[in-house]
Structure 1
């Protein structure tokens, strides 16, 4: 069993953005299915739940302690780790392994006071780790903090999860070009822009990645209210196998 679900599909501001009255934010207030929480992924197997990132702040309400098998971090920006600050205070004797990129600073005092969080030695890019229920390969990304994407593989299914990034490093692009990607879940925060954004893909970069890697299915995530506004008028211009992530969206089940 392997189930992969979008836990959160939004950028740091989420949708609706506090105090914003754009058409996308107003839609999300009227229809909760258009609300977007912090970008994160849930992987369920017969052994338990693996979380990729922990920006959702109500993880303690969503999961029992024994549900969470491991947590894997893409990077240490607060919207991707803020949920850990609550979890760490559990007084259970067991530990939850937390896998991470090679960032010596981490976030705030997580390293100093980890509580039940057992931070593992940093991932080595392109070095595959074989868990009992699936394998995962860390992939360097382009962001303002040291950031990793991940290739998840099991029984011939390949799922790439690439957030946060603006474009791809040549090494990651070459690596993924040699894979048959069943699903590519890609950062896309912005509508088309005249020049590349600083930290996140826009639609132009997402389409370039789509045409370069040729995944069977592509899902855009880390979405801002600005992109949602654009999508409300232009979603039908995207390729038919390019989809827009939603919170709770089911990706694959084997």
Structure 2
């Protein structure tokens, strides 16, 4: 839901409401390189994120799964393509594209749908996707991106990954992982995303060089010191991350 949550007057939401550090939007990233650029996910905050970056057009979007917080901006993106008389390109596994088409059957007028079940190359990155457990919410996809000796993965919605779903999360320079709460107390069967404590346990196995936690709820207060391990940090709205060996 982003932060602040409209119904909430907790300290984190009030600080975010005043334009503070905890102001955050639905998870999305813009990947930019000399070879081109693309977005990963297109949630309902798409227009605002474009305005914050001063970006007037997005030609390509890679989607992780067909939930509203990750695809709610697709109609607005498609409408921008219509006004600019340019076709956007949307990439995702076929079952994700099929689900999007069922929800928004008019998008194909302005967007070209590209299944990428066998992987894809975008902006110089070789991208592999695989299905990951999303708990009570079913499934999502994670993506592993490789270029010039640098490897990173984007996995915003997952929980309790079995060993076979962790394989492509090994050997990473950077892992971007969703963690909604620091310690979520809800009954496990009702949950859908790792909490921070569980994610830290996962990192002990995967050992990425860097990790960024994203997809955070108002439970996470960025003004606090959570004593995260070296190389682990929380995402901040608008942050820039170099995707190359330093």
TM-score, normalised relative to structure 2: 0.84
**Paired residue for 1:53, among 29, 34, 41?**
41
* Cα 1:192/1:169, change in 2 over 3 Å: same
User: Aligned pairs, how many?
Assistant: 232
Mapping of residues 119-158 of structure 1, within 5 Å: 119-121=113-115, 123-124=116-117, 127-131=118-122, 133-143=124-134, 144-158=137-151
2:56 equivalent in structure 1: 64
Specify every segment of 5 or more residues in structure 1 that has no aligned partner in the other structure, as ranges. 1-12
Q: Which has the higher contact order (CA 8 A, sep 6+)?
A: 1
* Cα 1:207/1:132, change in 2 over 3 Å: closer
Supply the distance in 1 between the matched residues of 2:125 and 2:198 (Cα, whole angstroms): 29
**Paired residue for 1:116, among 102, 105, 110?**
110
1:99 equivalent in structure 2: 91
SS in 2 for 1:39: coil
Supply the distance in 2 between the matched residues of 1:227 and 1:118 (Cα, whole angstroms): 37
1:83 equivalent in structure 2: 73
Supply the distance in 2 between the matched residues of 1:145 and 1:106 (Cα, whole angstroms): 15
* Cα 1:115/1:33, change in 2 over 3 Å: farther
Q: What is the Cα deviation at residue 128 of structure 1?
A: 3.4
SS in 2 for 1:250: coil
Deviation readout 1:178-201 (Å, 9 max, x if unpaired): xx2111110100121356461111
Q: What is the Cα deviation at residue 30 of structure 1?
A: 2.8
* Cα 1:40/1:155, change in 2 over 3 Å: same
RMSD: 2.2
**Paired residue for 2:174, among 155, 167, 183?**
183
1:7 equivalent in structure 2: none
Q: What is the Cα deviation at residue 220 of structure 1?
A: 0.4
Question: Quick check: 2:174–2:211 contact (8 Å CA) kept in 1?
Answer: yes
Supply the distance in 2 between the matched residues of 1:226 and 1:108 (Cα, whole angstroms): 33
Supply the distance in 2 between the matched residues of 1:46 and 1:64 (Cα, whole angstroms): 18
Question: Quick check: 1:43–1:50 contact (8 Å CA) kept in 2?
Answer: yes
Q: What is the Cα deviation at residue 42 of structure 1?
A: 0.8
**Paired residue for 1:22, among 3, 7, 10?**
10
Specify every segment of 5 or more residues in structure 2 that has no aligned partner in the other structure, as ranges. none
Question: Quick check: 1:78–1:107 contact (8 Å CA) kept in 2?
Answer: no
Deviation readout 1:65-105 (Å, 9 max, x if unpaired): 3xx24100001111111111112121444321101132332
Supply the distance in 2 between the matched residues of 1:57 and 1:158 (Cα, whole angstroms): 26
1:192 equivalent in structure 2: 183
Q: What is the Cα deviation at residue 153 of structure 1?
A: 1.2
Q: What is the Cα deviation at residue 218 of structure 1?
A: 0.7
Supply the distance in 1 between the matched residues of 2:101 and 2:162 (Cα, whole angstroms): 24
* Cα 1:48/1:64, change in 2 over 3 Å: farther
Q: What is the Cα deviation at residue 109 of structure 1?
A: 3.7
